[in-house]
Amino acid sequence: MSLGGYLLKRVFYSIPLMLGAITIIFALIHAAPGEPTDYIIGDASVSQEFIDRLRAEMGLDRPLWVQLGKYVLEVMSGNFGFSYVRNTPVIALILDRLPATLLLMVTQYVVSVALGIYLGVISARRPNSLLDRGITVFSLAAFAIPLFWLGQMLILTVAYQLDWFPIQGMVNIRQGYTGFAHVLDVAHHLFLPALTLALPNIALILRLTRSSMIEVIGQEYIKVARAKGLSERSVLFKHALRNALIPVVTVVSLNLPTLIAGAVLTETVFAWPGLGRLTFDAIHARDYPLLMGMFIFISLVVILGNLIADLLYALLDPRIRYQ
Amino acid sequence: MRSSTPASAISSVPAVPEPAAPARRPRFGLWRRFRRNRAALFGLAVTTAFVIVGVFAPLLAPYGQLDMAASFQPPGREHVFGTDSLGTDVFSNVIYGTRVSLLVGLFSVLTSTAIGITIGAAAGFFSGRVDTLLMRLTEMFQVLPQFFLAIVIVAIFGASVWSIILIIGVLNWPATARLLRAEFLALREREFVEAARALGMSNFDLIVREILPNALPPIIVNATLQVSGAILLEASLSFLGLGDPNAMSWGIMLHNAQDFFNRAWWMAAFPGFALFLTTLGVNLMGDGLNDALNPKTQSR
């Protein structure tokens, strides 16, 4: 099968997934106590006639499947709902907060991929050595530590006690830096949340790299590379790593939901003004339309992420296309 | 310390399918192999302590949940872990918090394992259209951002310990289903199943009596590792303010601590460490169990 055909098949598969996510949220909206009209009416005393007119206007008097169809079309055209608490369309709120979350995520990815692969390779070089065991202990701890608690402890120690890093937020509002000073200020604020979010991912990537490197190192072509007299560095990082990375790429892209969960918690601890903090604020303001809109948005992003993972996998490992 | 297998390293992270394990492992000497693994023994000890503290919490806690003293007392002789913003004893609260984690860990995993076994067994045994349909459903559940879905559901329908257990259980079954399906696909072609079928055994009996018992070891390992995931998920929800307001839990304590960083480090440090230790212990026990059940895939 050609790469294009393979991709088309995967895109086709993801359509029912998207519809499924939208249907779940639609079902939740209707199962939730109260009616969507309640958000608009609030505590105001209004006549039944007004409520009926509002219901007709919002299409709530139509059969459920018509409402679902309309809802799907709305979402597909980029309308993720309306936050009555903030009096703003959900999509505008999401786009407003997205850059901060993206900055956190991308930094996290760079850090965890670089460190995870490096630690995995040096760990695989001599399995069961002292270094390998130390790295294993580290990864077990990193898997078990609750992200938000790790964040809290980092704030308490290096930010609050030692005063090396700012405690919360993304910029120093009092100073109002501009230009390069602003970039440095953001980086200073970014360090701890990115480290917190990266830690479990470093552990995941290093475990995967380690086990897949150990497997690859045992194969014939590595012996050949060594026999040719290549340096150990070149054998490990060029010849072995290339093939060892294939499973790593897939798992890392499939791990997006876990990463989003981590971002919600990390942003909450560090008051990082991204989607995670928006989630936390929406929970406390009981802003359900915002929560639901964000759920749909995040579901779509995750499904898209899986598509990208499929594409990368097919590019890296041509065998997969013929299965 | 023994290094764990790749499979067990992955399985402590949700949303990653486990590779199909070879069918039929020798199970004799399980405890002998488990005992040799010091990390696993440590995990077993922590888990046992966790269960005991949870069951006997009211006997072990020095103060009741409503006993108020002066707030923000640092750790000292009267209050080993200090007191919180309301003046209740942090040490006692950590002990009471064990109960919520224990309940959530146990019952949500029982729920998810029951659903996963039903769906995985049906998909693996019947194959064909049933399999395709069920696997599509499983895939959909696995792709959804589960944590976010849990947030939305708990926020809308309200939080109680049992509703959180149910939600975590309903969201966590896909891994179990996929794992069991793979086991079933491998096992159903084997001679002992053929023989039982030839003797006229019904499909139900084939599934429950013949195949399932042989497919259980990886399910047990998976369930153990899911316990820590469920405990962390409950704590995360509670930390975001979605905990059961009527029950003391570690997540709720960490939520309350968030506002008092500069005054009372002990409000965050102790419940979080309890959570960390429990998760670590359960994970190590699960890894050890995995190694003991699959002697061939142990450290290389």
Give me the number of domains chain B comprises. Answer: 1
Q: Which amino acid makes up residue A95? A: L
Mean pLDDT of B45-70: 86
Q: Output the six-digit token pair for A22.
A: 């939208």
pLDDT at B297: 54
Closest CA relative to residue A12, chosen from A285, A260, A303, A309: A303
Residues in chain B closer than 8 A to A205 (CB atoms)? none
Residues 223-262 of chain B with CB under 8 A from chain A are 228, 232, 235-236, 239-242, 254, 257-258, 261-262
pLDDT at B7: 40
Indicate whether B154 belongs to any domain: yes
Mean pLDDT of B253-269: 85
CATH number at residue B125: 1.10.3720.10
Q: Can you list the residues of chain A whose pLDDT is less than 50?
A: none
Q: Which of B147, B272, B280 faces A261 most closely, judged by CB atoms?
A: B147
Q: Give the burial class of B77: count Cβ atoms within 10 A of its Cβ; 0-12 exposed, 13-18 middle, 19 or more buried.
A: exposed
pLDDT at A285: 85
CB pairs under 8 A between A and B: 176
Q: How many CA atoms lie within 13 A of B231 on its CB side?
A: 34
Q: Do B283 and A144 touch (CB under 8 A)?
A: yes
Indicate whether B8 belongs to any domain: no
User: pLDDT band at B284, cuts 50/70/90?
Assistant: very high
Indicate whether B253 belongs to any domain: yes
- Go through the domains of chain A in sequence order and give each one's CATH number: 90-316 (1.10.3720.10)
Q: How many CB atoms are located within 10 Å of the residue A253 CB?
A: 18
pLDDT at B117: 94
Does residue A280 or residue B142 have the better pLDDT? A280
Question: What's the Cα-to-Cα distance from A139 to each of A82, A101, A195, A227, B111, rounded to whole Å?
Answer: 42, 25, 14, 33, 29
Q: Find the domain containing B226 and state its range.
A: 51-61+79-297
**In whole angstroms, what is the distance from residue A299 CA to residue A287 CA?**
19
pLDDT at B122: 92
pLDDT at B12: 40
User: pLDDT band at B16, cuts 50/70/90?
Assistant: very low
**In whole angstroms, what is the distance from residue A110 CA to residue A136 CA?**
21
Indicate whether B9 belongs to any domain: no
Phi and psi based region of residue B208 (left: phi greater than 0; alpha: psi -120 to 50; beta: remaining): alpha
pLDDT at A67: 82
Q: Output the six-digit token pair for A266.
A: 């990390």
Indicate whether B69 belongs to any domain: no
Asked if B163 and B247 touch (Cβ cutoff 8 Å), the reply is no
**In whole angstroms, what is the distance from residue B136 CA to residue A322 CA?**
21
Could you tell me if B133 lies within 8 Å of chain A, comparing CB atoms? no
Q: How many CA atoms lie within 13 A of B84 on its CB side?
A: 26
Indicate whether B15 belongs to any domain: no
The 3-state DSSP class for residue A82 equals strand
Could you tell me if B11 lies within 8 Å of chain A, comparing CB atoms? no
Indicate whether B279 belongs to any domain: yes
Strands (E), A212-293: none
**In whole angstroms, what is the distance from residue A169 CA to residue A196 CA?**
15
pLDDT at A321: 61
Tens of pLDDT, residues B184-233: 988 888 888 888 888 888 888 888 888 888 888 889 989 998 999 999 99
Residues in chain A closer than 8 A to B287 (CB atoms)? 140
Closest CA relative to residue B180, chosen from B42, B20, B36: B20
The 3-state DSSP class for residue A58 equals coil
Could you tell me if B140 lies within 8 Å of chain A, comparing CB atoms? yes
Cα distance from B157 to chain A (closest Cα, Å)? 7
Residues in chain A closer than 8 A to B153 (CB atoms)? 28
Q: Which of B13, B145, B254 faces A204 most closely, judged by CB atoms?
A: B13
Indicate whether B67 belongs to any domain: no
